[in-house]
Amino acid sequence: MHRALRQTDFTAVPELQTRSRSLLTFRGTQASMAARALTKGLWALRQSRAVTIGYPASGHFYGTEAAVKSPQLQVEDVSERIMTLPLEKPDFFRVSELFSVKSLFEARVHLGHKKGCRHRLMEPYLYGCRLEQDIIDLDQTMEHLQLALNFTAHVAYRGGVILFVSRQRQFSQLVESTAKGCGEYAHTRYWQGGLLTNAPIQYGPGVRLPDLIVFLSTLNNVFQQHVAIRDAAKMNILQLEWWTQTAIPAC
Protein backbone atom coordinates (compact mmCIF):
# COMPACT_ATOMS: atom_id res chain seq x y z
CA MET A 1 0.00 0.00 0.00
CA HIS A 2 2.93 2.25 0.70
CA ARG A 3 4.42 1.56 -2.74
CA ALA A 4 1.08 2.23 -4.39
CA LEU A 5 0.71 5.46 -2.51
CA ARG A 6 4.18 6.66 -3.52
CA GLN A 7 3.57 5.69 -7.13
CA THR A 8 0.19 7.41 -7.08
CA ASP A 9 1.63 10.56 -5.56
CA PHE A 10 4.48 10.58 -8.07
CA THR A 11 2.23 10.16 -11.09
CA ALA A 12 -0.12 12.70 -9.68
CA VAL A 13 2.52 15.39 -9.85
CA PRO A 14 3.66 15.63 -13.51
CA GLU A 15 5.64 18.79 -12.80
CA LEU A 16 7.90 16.94 -10.32
CA GLN A 17 8.49 14.17 -12.85
CA THR A 18 9.52 16.68 -15.51
CA ARG A 19 11.98 18.37 -13.14
CA SER A 20 13.58 15.07 -12.17
CA ARG A 21 14.08 14.11 -15.82
CA SER A 22 15.64 17.51 -16.57
CA LEU A 23 17.99 17.13 -13.58
CA LEU A 24 19.07 13.67 -14.74
CA THR A 25 19.66 14.97 -18.27
CA PHE A 26 21.72 17.93 -16.96
CA ARG A 27 23.84 15.67 -14.77
CA GLY A 28 24.40 13.29 -17.68
CA THR A 29 25.52 16.19 -19.87
CA GLN A 30 27.94 17.39 -17.17
CA ALA A 31 29.43 13.91 -16.78
CA SER A 32 29.82 13.60 -20.54
CA MET A 33 31.58 16.97 -20.79
CA ALA A 34 33.88 16.13 -17.87
CA ALA A 35 34.78 12.78 -19.40
CA ARG A 36 35.44 14.44 -22.76
CA ALA A 37 37.71 17.09 -21.16
CA LEU A 38 39.58 14.44 -19.17
CA THR A 39 40.12 12.34 -22.29
CA LYS A 40 41.38 15.37 -24.21
CA GLY A 41 43.82 16.27 -21.41
CA LEU A 42 45.18 12.74 -21.17
CA TRP A 43 45.54 12.60 -24.95
CA ALA A 44 47.54 15.87 -25.01
CA LEU A 45 49.74 14.66 -22.16
CA ARG A 46 50.39 11.38 -23.92
CA GLN A 47 51.28 13.12 -27.18
CA SER A 48 53.80 15.39 -25.41
CA ARG A 49 55.58 12.46 -23.74
CA ALA A 50 55.16 9.68 -26.28
CA VAL A 51 56.98 8.57 -29.39
CA THR A 52 54.63 7.34 -32.11
CA ILE A 53 55.05 3.68 -33.08
CA GLY A 54 52.20 3.20 -35.53
CA TYR A 55 48.64 1.93 -35.98
CA PRO A 56 47.98 -1.78 -35.47
CA ALA A 57 45.27 -3.72 -37.25
CA SER A 58 42.75 -2.87 -34.55
CA GLY A 59 43.01 0.82 -35.43
CA HIS A 60 43.95 1.94 -31.92
CA PHE A 61 46.82 4.36 -31.50
CA TYR A 62 49.65 3.40 -29.19
CA GLY A 63 53.04 4.89 -28.23
CA THR A 64 55.98 4.60 -25.87
CA GLU A 65 56.81 7.12 -23.18
CA ALA A 66 60.14 8.94 -23.48
CA ALA A 67 62.60 8.48 -20.64
CA VAL A 68 62.70 11.50 -18.34
CA LYS A 69 66.24 12.26 -17.14
CA SER A 70 66.83 13.20 -13.55
CA PRO A 71 68.30 16.67 -12.79
CA GLN A 72 71.59 15.06 -11.75
CA LEU A 73 71.96 13.28 -15.09
CA GLN A 74 71.12 16.50 -16.94
CA VAL A 75 73.83 18.38 -15.02
CA GLU A 76 76.34 15.64 -15.82
CA ASP A 77 75.43 15.80 -19.51
CA VAL A 78 75.90 19.57 -19.55
CA SER A 79 79.27 19.29 -17.78
CA GLU A 80 80.43 16.65 -20.23
CA ARG A 81 79.24 18.78 -23.14
CA ILE A 82 81.19 21.78 -21.82
CA MET A 83 84.37 19.71 -21.74
CA THR A 84 83.95 18.04 -25.13
CA LEU A 85 82.71 21.07 -27.09
CA PRO A 86 86.18 22.72 -27.46
CA LEU A 87 87.54 19.46 -28.89
CA GLU A 88 85.11 19.58 -31.81
CA LYS A 89 86.67 22.72 -33.29
CA PRO A 90 90.29 23.10 -34.45
CA ASP A 91 90.68 26.60 -32.96
CA PHE A 92 88.00 26.96 -30.31
CA PHE A 93 89.97 29.52 -28.28
CA ARG A 94 91.01 31.57 -31.37
CA VAL A 95 94.71 31.49 -30.58
CA SER A 96 95.47 32.16 -34.25
CA GLU A 97 94.23 35.73 -33.74
CA LEU A 98 96.84 36.46 -31.08
CA PHE A 99 99.70 36.96 -33.54
CA SER A 100 100.61 37.00 -37.22
CA VAL A 101 103.69 36.54 -39.38
CA LYS A 102 104.15 40.30 -39.37
CA SER A 103 104.15 40.49 -35.57
CA LEU A 104 106.66 37.64 -35.40
CA PHE A 105 108.87 39.42 -37.91
CA GLU A 106 108.70 42.69 -35.97
CA ALA A 107 109.69 40.77 -32.83
CA ARG A 108 112.69 39.45 -34.81
CA VAL A 109 111.79 35.83 -34.23
CA HIS A 110 113.23 35.00 -37.66
CA LEU A 111 116.79 35.79 -36.58
CA GLY A 112 118.65 32.62 -35.65
CA HIS A 113 122.15 31.79 -34.44
CA LYS A 114 125.34 31.94 -36.40
CA LYS A 115 125.84 29.37 -39.10
CA GLY A 116 128.56 27.63 -37.10
CA CYS A 117 126.18 27.04 -34.16
CA ARG A 118 123.49 25.43 -36.30
CA HIS A 119 121.94 22.22 -35.01
CA ARG A 120 121.17 19.53 -37.56
CA LEU A 121 117.59 19.11 -36.29
CA MET A 122 116.95 22.79 -36.99
CA GLU A 123 117.74 22.63 -40.71
CA PRO A 124 114.17 21.77 -41.91
CA TYR A 125 112.87 24.94 -40.25
CA LEU A 126 115.38 27.37 -41.79
CA TYR A 127 114.38 29.73 -44.57
CA GLY A 128 117.98 30.46 -45.51
CA CYS A 129 121.23 32.03 -44.35
CA ARG A 130 122.28 35.65 -44.69
CA LEU A 131 125.61 37.13 -43.62
CA GLU A 132 126.48 33.90 -41.79
CA GLN A 133 123.25 34.10 -39.77
CA ASP A 134 120.43 31.59 -40.08
CA ILE A 135 116.97 32.90 -41.03
CA ILE A 136 114.07 30.93 -39.56
CA ASP A 137 110.98 30.16 -41.65
CA LEU A 138 108.21 32.12 -39.91
CA ASP A 139 105.43 30.25 -41.71
CA GLN A 140 106.45 27.03 -39.99
CA THR A 141 107.02 28.88 -36.74
CA MET A 142 103.51 30.31 -36.86
CA GLU A 143 101.98 26.88 -37.53
CA HIS A 144 103.81 25.18 -34.66
CA LEU A 145 103.18 28.07 -32.29
CA GLN A 146 99.44 27.88 -32.95
CA LEU A 147 99.46 24.15 -32.17
CA ALA A 148 101.39 24.74 -28.95
CA LEU A 149 99.12 27.58 -27.81
CA ASN A 150 95.99 25.61 -28.66
CA PHE A 151 97.21 22.64 -26.63
CA THR A 152 98.15 24.91 -23.72
CA ALA A 153 94.70 26.54 -23.84
CA HIS A 154 93.00 23.13 -23.59
CA VAL A 155 95.14 22.18 -20.58
CA ALA A 156 94.34 25.47 -18.84
CA TYR A 157 90.63 25.15 -19.71
CA ARG A 158 90.48 21.81 -17.89
CA GLY A 159 92.20 23.17 -14.81
CA GLY A 160 95.63 21.71 -15.52
CA VAL A 161 98.79 22.91 -13.79
CA ILE A 162 101.28 24.60 -16.14
CA LEU A 163 104.92 25.20 -15.20
CA PHE A 164 107.16 27.68 -17.06
CA VAL A 165 110.87 26.84 -16.87
CA SER A 166 113.81 29.03 -17.90
CA ARG A 167 117.45 29.31 -16.81
CA GLN A 168 118.19 32.57 -18.62
CA ARG A 169 118.72 35.18 -15.94
CA GLN A 170 117.84 38.14 -18.13
CA PHE A 171 114.29 36.77 -18.57
CA SER A 172 113.71 35.45 -15.03
CA GLN A 173 111.60 38.34 -13.81
CA LEU A 174 109.56 38.48 -17.01
CA VAL A 175 108.83 34.73 -16.92
CA GLU A 176 107.83 34.81 -13.25
CA SER A 177 105.56 37.83 -13.62
CA THR A 178 103.91 36.34 -16.71
CA ALA A 179 103.24 33.04 -14.96
CA LYS A 180 101.86 34.86 -11.93
CA GLY A 181 99.56 36.92 -14.13
CA CYS A 182 98.21 33.72 -15.70
CA GLY A 183 97.66 32.06 -12.34
CA GLU A 184 100.30 29.42 -13.09
CA TYR A 185 103.79 28.56 -11.85
CA ALA A 186 107.37 29.31 -12.90
CA HIS A 187 110.85 28.01 -12.06
CA THR A 188 113.78 30.21 -13.10
CA ARG A 189 116.37 29.24 -10.51
CA TYR A 190 118.76 26.35 -10.14
CA TRP A 191 116.92 23.07 -10.71
CA GLN A 192 117.59 20.71 -7.86
CA GLY A 193 117.55 17.04 -8.79
CA GLY A 194 114.45 15.13 -7.75
CA LEU A 195 111.97 18.02 -7.84
CA LEU A 196 109.69 15.91 -10.02
CA THR A 197 110.87 12.34 -9.49
CA ASN A 198 111.17 12.63 -5.70
CA ALA A 199 108.42 15.17 -5.01
CA PRO A 200 106.44 13.15 -2.38
CA ILE A 201 109.53 12.86 -0.17
CA GLN A 202 110.75 16.44 -0.61
CA TYR A 203 107.37 18.15 -0.26
CA GLY A 204 105.25 15.53 1.48
CA PRO A 205 102.36 13.36 0.28
CA GLY A 206 99.57 14.77 -1.87
CA VAL A 207 101.78 16.96 -4.05
CA ARG A 208 100.37 17.47 -7.53
CA LEU A 209 102.89 17.48 -10.35
CA PRO A 210 102.43 19.85 -13.30
CA ASP A 211 100.39 18.63 -16.25
CA LEU A 212 102.42 20.66 -18.74
CA ILE A 213 105.91 22.16 -18.68
CA VAL A 214 106.78 25.02 -21.03
CA PHE A 215 110.53 25.31 -21.56
CA LEU A 216 111.59 28.75 -22.71
CA SER A 217 115.11 27.38 -22.94
CA THR A 218 116.14 23.73 -22.89
CA LEU A 219 119.73 24.46 -21.80
CA ASN A 220 121.26 25.28 -18.46
CA ASN A 221 124.26 26.62 -20.32
CA VAL A 222 125.84 26.20 -23.73
CA PHE A 223 126.94 22.62 -23.10
CA GLN A 224 124.41 21.26 -20.60
CA GLN A 225 120.80 20.27 -21.17
CA HIS A 226 118.19 21.21 -18.59
CA VAL A 227 117.71 18.43 -16.04
CA ALA A 228 113.93 18.96 -15.98
CA ILE A 229 113.62 17.58 -19.52
CA ARG A 230 114.89 14.20 -18.38
CA ASP A 231 112.83 14.23 -15.18
CA ALA A 232 109.65 15.27 -17.00
CA ALA A 233 110.08 12.41 -19.46
CA LYS A 234 110.41 9.97 -16.56
CA MET A 235 107.20 11.24 -14.97
CA ASN A 236 105.24 11.30 -18.30
CA ILE A 237 104.78 15.08 -18.17
CA LEU A 238 104.19 16.82 -21.50
CA GLN A 239 106.75 19.38 -22.61
CA LEU A 240 106.58 22.26 -25.08
CA GLU A 241 109.90 23.08 -26.72
CA TRP A 242 112.26 22.15 -29.48
CA TRP A 243 112.81 18.41 -30.13
CA THR A 244 110.38 17.37 -27.38
CA GLN A 245 106.69 16.57 -28.04
CA THR A 246 105.91 19.94 -29.66
CA ALA A 247 108.66 21.88 -31.43
CA ILE A 248 108.49 25.65 -31.95
CA PRO A 249 111.21 26.74 -34.37
CA ALA A 250 112.43 30.09 -33.06
CA CYS A 251 115.51 31.58 -31.52
Which residue type, as a one-letter code, is found at position 210? Answer: P
Report how many domains make up the chain.
2
Residue 151's domain comprises 77-240
Q: Kindly state whether residue 245 falls inside one of the protein's structural domains.
A: no
Kindly provide the b/e burial profile for residues 36-54, where b requires at least 16 CB atoms within 10 angstroms of the residue's own CB: eeeeeeeeeeeeeeeeeee
Q: What is the DSSP letter of 112?
A: E
Q: From start to end of 11-140, where are the E strands?
A: 50-54, 62-65, 111-114, 126-130, 133-136
In angstroms, the CA 132 to CA 214 distance is 30
* Same-domain status, 89 and 209: yes
Q: Kindly state whether residue 113 falls inside one of the protein's structural domains.
A: yes
* Same-domain status, 31 and 142: no
Task: Measure the CA angle with vertex 177, ends 225 and 216; round to 5°.
Answer: 25
- Asked if residue 4 has pLDDT above 70, the reply is no
Summarised one tens digit per residue, pLDDT across range 74-112 is: 666 777 777 788 888 889 999 999 999 999 999 999 999
Share of the chain above pLDDT 90, in %: 37
Q: Kindly state whether residue 89 falls inside one of the protein's structural domains.
A: yes
CATH number at residue 120: 3.40.50.10490
Q: What's CA 143's distance to the chain center, in Å?
A: 23
DSSP 183-200: T-EEE-S---TTTTTTHH
pTM, rounded to two decimals: 0.64
* Same-domain status, 54 and 121: no
* Same-domain status, 102 and 84: yes
Select the more confidently predicted residue: 136 or 60.
136
